[in-house]
Amino acid sequence: MMIHLFEILASLTESALGIAVPTKLLGEKRSGGIRLAAAAAVLTAVVWGINQYVLFSAWTTVLGVLLMALGGCLVYQRNFVDVLPLTAFFMFLLYACDFIVLTLCGTVSRDQGFAAAMTSALSEARMVFLFLSKTMLLLTCWFVVWLCNAVSSQYTKIDWSLLAAIGVSVYLADRTIQKTDGSSLLNWLLLLGIVLMYMHLRLQKQISSVSREKADMEREKNRMLAENYQILKDASTSKQTFYHDLKNQYLLIQNYLETGAYEKAKDYIKELGGREHMEEIRFHTGSEAMDIILEYKLNQAKRQGIQINCLIEPVQLRLQETEVTALLGNLLDNALEACDKMEPQDRWIQIVIRQMGNASFIKVSNTCAQEPERIGEEFVSGKQGTLHGIGTKSIREIVERYGGVQETGYKDGIFFMTISFF
């Protein structure tokens, strides 16, 4: 009875991991819950039935891969073609763990028929083998998932070469069953090391490619911000020139009125009335770039129906104009985007820019419908798609470049980011 119980628990462990791990590598965050348990139970029943006839064969391997891939598709609603290669990879891990334990035990006991005995019949010794092999499988799966998450947020590339690993493992398994010795153990350890190293290198290549793409997009975005800033700067210069000239225009009109040249005065006033009205910049932070970005973004917020609260003082920043544009532009873009998802009556942004001694502080707070996504302890932009997190990454790099401190937080529907330069 105990032997059968161990067999069921071992099969249940294999089934659950075989369904969950491949989809986890593809970036699936849901646990699956009841559906995972149900699928694992059904798969366990099938495996248990098959084991009554044969414990290992090539056709049971193929069937196991197909059934676990199908289970992953049903539970997590993933594409079968996406799940299949990673399911084969899991099956390889399963065989590697099983046969490493088998060859290790066979080598220690000097029993060349140990693997054959464990894969042909149920026994008490098999209970010990199942406990050791499934413990190793759990640890190996945890390591693989950790490795993938450490290198990349998800394993998105479908690598059909992983199917070759299961083919080689079936061949080695057959050889090991025929003769269990030290060379078999070495072969399994070598194969496991090669496959894990290969997967790690593929992940490194993948994340390097994604990083380059994000870096290129970040540079392009900052270039566009710089161009927009120059346009705004030119417009601001024109606006300031207009108001400077207005004094002389008032003097001319006054002269027309004093000399009785009323028609000339009316014509000149009519000409001035045709010019586009432009509001004077309200901010004087000591940074022309900051003044212009504040004016532009706050006008944008006004058009979106966002309430703005400002406490802005002159500050002493060592940043270049392009860096000020990228820093403040990204801060306010993120705030505007978050507020745009709120109900009209709940939209507000608070901006605090202050100088305290040698320290400059910039704080932007805004209402936020939900807590932004975290990577580790760091919040990232809520944008979806290829530009995900680029704005926050640009802010962090600028802050680090000048030895500043960045603090973010979320509480009761309010998100804030504080940046300090000393």
Domain CATH for 296: 3.30.565.10
Of 419 and 202, which is predicted with more confidence? Answer: 419
Q: Is the pLDDT of residue 350 over 90?
A: yes
Q: What is the mean pLDDT of residues 252-276?
A: 69
Of the residues 177, 197, 214, the one at which a domain ends: 214
Shared domain for 290 and 163, answered yes or no, is no
Q: Is the pLDDT of residue 403 over 60?
A: yes
Of 192 and 306, which is predicted with more confidence? Answer: 306
Strands 405-411 and 378-379 come out as: unpaired
Confidence band, pLDDT 50/70/90 cuts, at residue 276: very low
Confidence band, pLDDT 50/70/90 cuts, at residue 355: very high
Lowest mean pLDDT: which of 95-104, 376-385, 413-422? 376-385
Q: Is the pLDDT of residue 248 over 70?
A: no
Confidence band, pLDDT 50/70/90 cuts, at residue 77: confident
Residue 234 covered by a domain: no
Whole-model pTM?
A: 0.44
Lowest mean pLDDT: which of 304-308, 374-378, 410-414? 374-378
Shared domain for 331 and 206, answered yes or no, is no
Residue 229 covered by a domain: no
Shared domain for 198 and 296, answered yes or no, is no
Q: Please tell me the predicted confidence (pLDDT) of residue 347.
A: 94
Please enumerate in sequence order all residues whose Cβ is within 8 A of that of 47, keeping only pairs 6 or more positions apart, or say none. Answer: 11, 14, 15, 64
- Joined together, the tokens standing for residue 375 give 């990577």
Q: What is the mean pLDDT of the chain?
A: 76
Strands 378-379 and 374-375 come out as: antiparallel
Per-residue model confidence as pLDDT tens digits over 17-29: 877 777 777 765 5
Shared domain for 70 and 205, answered yes or no, is yes
Shared domain for 161 and 72, answered yes or no, is yes
Residue 262 covered by a domain: no
Of the residues 214, 234, 257, the one at which a domain ends: 214
For the CA atoms of the chain, what is the radius of gyration?
33
Q: Please tell me the predicted confidence (pLDDT) of residue 116.
A: 73
Q: Please tell me the predicted confidence (pLDDT) of residue 217.
A: 67
Per-residue model confidence as pLDDT tens digits over 281-298: 578 888 888 888 898 888
Q: Is the pLDDT of residue 123 over 80?
A: no
% of residues, the chain, pLDDT over 90: 14
Q: Please tell me the predicted confidence (pLDDT) of residue 384.
A: 41
In terms of Cα–Cα distance, which of 306, 304, 300 is closest to 346?
306
Residue 304 covered by a domain: yes
Shared domain for 60 and 185, answered yes or no, is yes
Q: Please tell me the predicted confidence (pLDDT) of residue 388.
A: 39
Shared domain for 291 and 379, answered yes or no, is yes
Q: Is the pLDDT of residue 30 over 90?
A: no
Domain count, the chain: 2
> Position of tokens 């873009």?
333
Of 228 and 255, which is predicted with more confidence? Answer: 255
Q: Please tell me the predicted confidence (pLDDT) of residue 278.
A: 42
Confidence band, pLDDT 50/70/90 cuts, at residue 267: confident
Q: Please tell me the predicted confidence (pLDDT) of residue 402.
A: 92
Q: Please tell me the predicted confidence (pLDDT) of residue 168.
A: 81
Q: Report whether 60 contacts 103 (CB < 8 A).
A: no
Largest CA distance in the chain: 122
Q: Please tell me the predicted confidence (pLDDT) of residue 76.
A: 74
Lowest mean pLDDT: which of 300-309, 334-343, 380-389? 380-389
How far is 228 from 102, CA to CA, in rounded Å?
A: 67
61 lies in which domain range? 2-214
Most confident range (mean pLDDT) of 98-107, 115-124, 300-309 is 300-309
